Structure 1
Amino acid sequence: MKILYVEDVEMNARLLALMVEQIWGYEIDIAETAEQGLEMIEAQKYDLVYMDVNLPNMNGIEAVQEIRKSYSEKDLPIIMVSADVSEEAIIKARGAGANDYMSKPVNLTALKEKSSKYVEMDLMEKSV
Structure 2
Amino acid sequence: MTLVLDAVTAVLFTTGAAFCLLGALGLLRFPDTVSRLHAAAKAQTLGLLLILVGAAAQAPARHAPVLLLVALSQLLTTPITSQIIGRTAYRTHGLDRDLLLRDELADRLAREGTPLQGRDRPERDEDAER
Class of the TM-score when normalised by the shorter of the 2 chains: under 0.3
**Structure with the bigger percentage of helix:** 2
Normalising by structure 1, we get a TM-score of 0.26
**Structure with the bigger percentage of strand:** 1
